[in-house]
């Protein structure tokens, strides 16, 4: 039987439980500052929309043991682990072998990946040389994450989803992958901007938080146009609980002599 591809996977299911994830950014070029990561913000936004809570992010080097150990640690801690980087055609693209090591698996050319890459190479007129063929390698038994941009796929082993680091390709892979995954209740947010400093609202905000333990209330100070203020963000899965909690935050600001301004809900 040929290896399963994402086309064979069932559509995503929604669970009332919390679904969690970690994101591993792999690459010496990120750690050196030569390349600025553009993938974290994108996947964080997409996971929020999918009802998957991103709980941890790590940036690690192109080191086989480091990658294998990090994947091993996080895949047992979270429902999903996503990675970016290190699956290209060059000698330092070692993520495939490192993930295989984490699972004690061998590595081979995935037949469906070879087929897709061969077709793409013919369409664009490039030579599918040995270096490019490295991108058809996956851990044994992996399923593919399709790449509509350049055909070279990512792959999934159990709950670990390995994707390219190039932002355009990474984003396309995420769009292909997320609809197939189990998701939880979506976290909604409301934000209230206060023209009062954090220290002035802290006590009252703590009292509101105690009355709404199911709502996460975050406080984010700002300084602009010569004025200190605080953006207060409330997050929770129950929209009906967010509104009264937000109104208490607005009233707290008014009681302290400030003027609250709402930010569009999400």
Q: What is the reported pLDDT for 4?
A: 40
Q: What is the reported pLDDT for 55?
A: 97
Neighbours of 230 (CB within 10 A): 22
Q: What band does 3 get if pLDDT is binned at 50, 70 and 90? A: very low
Which token pair is 42? Answer: 């994108």
Report, as an integer, the average pLDDT of 206-211.
97
**Is 86 a residue whose pLDDT tops 70?**
yes
Q: What is the reported pLDDT for 14?
A: 52
Q: What band does 8 get if pLDDT is binned at 50, 70 and 90? A: very low
% the chain with pLDDT above 90: 83
In the chain, where are the structural domains located? 6-180, 188-263
Q: Which of the residue ranges 58-62, 94-98, 221-225, 242-246 would you say has the lowest mean pLDDT? A: 221-225
Q: What band does 7 get if pLDDT is binned at 50, 70 and 90? A: very low
Q: What band does 127 get if pLDDT is binned at 50, 70 and 90? A: confident
Report, as an integer, the average pLDDT of 41-58.
96
Residues 167, 173, 176, 180, CA torsion sign: negative
Instruction: From residue 106, give the alpha-carbon distance in Å to each of 138, 174, 228.
Output: 9, 25, 57
Residue 216 C-beta-side C-alpha neighbours within 13 Å: 7
Level-2 CATH architecture, domain 6-180: 3-Layer(aba) Sandwich (3.40)
Q: What is the reported pLDDT for 218?
A: 95
CATH number for the domain formed by residue range(s) 188-263: 3.30.70.260
Q: What is the reported pLDDT for 107?
A: 97
Q: What is the reported pLDDT for 265?
A: 46
Pick the more confident residue, 263 or 209: 209
Q: What is the reported pLDDT for 2?
A: 37
Report, as an integer, the average pLDDT of 30-39.
96
Report, as an integer, the average pLDDT of 172-201.
94
Mean pLDDT estimate for the chain: 92
**Is 1 a residue whose pLDDT tops 50?**
no
d(CA 93, CA 106): 16
Q: What is the reported pLDDT for 182?
A: 93
Report, in this order, helix, strand and coil percent for the chain, each rounded to 5. 40, 25, 35
pTM attached to this predicted model:
0.84
Report, as an integer, the average pLDDT of 116-143.
93
């Amino acid at each position: 039987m040929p290896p399963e591809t994402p086309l064979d996977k069932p559509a995503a299911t929604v669970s009332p439980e919390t679904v969690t994830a970690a994101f591993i950014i792999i690459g010496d070029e990120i750690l050196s500052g030569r390349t600025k990561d553009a993938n974290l913000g994108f996947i964080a936004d997409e996971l929020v929309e999918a009802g998957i809570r991103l709980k941890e992010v790590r940036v690690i080097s192109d080191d086989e043991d480091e990658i294998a150990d990090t994947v091993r640690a996080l895949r047992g801690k979270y429902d999903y682990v996503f990675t970016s980087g290190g699956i290209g055609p060059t000698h330092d693209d070692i993520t495939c072998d490192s993930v295989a090591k984490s699972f004690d698996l061998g590595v081979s050319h995935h037949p469906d990946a070879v087929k897709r890459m061969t077709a793409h190479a013919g369409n664009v007129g490039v030579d599918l040389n040995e270096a490019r063929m490295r991108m058809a390698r996956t851990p044994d038994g992996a399923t593919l994450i399709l790449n509509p941009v350049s055909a070279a796929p990512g792959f999934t082993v159990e709950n670990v989803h390995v994707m390219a680091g190039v932002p355009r390709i990474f984003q396309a892979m995420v769009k292909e992958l997320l609809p197939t995954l189990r998701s939880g209740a979506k976290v909604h947010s409301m934000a209230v901007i206060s023209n009062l400093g954090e220290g002035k609202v802290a006590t009252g905000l703590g009292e509101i938080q105690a009355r709404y333990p199911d709502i996460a209330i975050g406080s984010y100070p700002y300084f602009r146009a010569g004025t200190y203020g605080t953006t207060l963000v409330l997050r929770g899965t129950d929209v009906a609980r967010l509104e009264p909690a937000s109104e208490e935050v607005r009233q707290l600001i008014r009681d302290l002599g400030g003027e609250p301004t709402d930010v569009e809900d999400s």
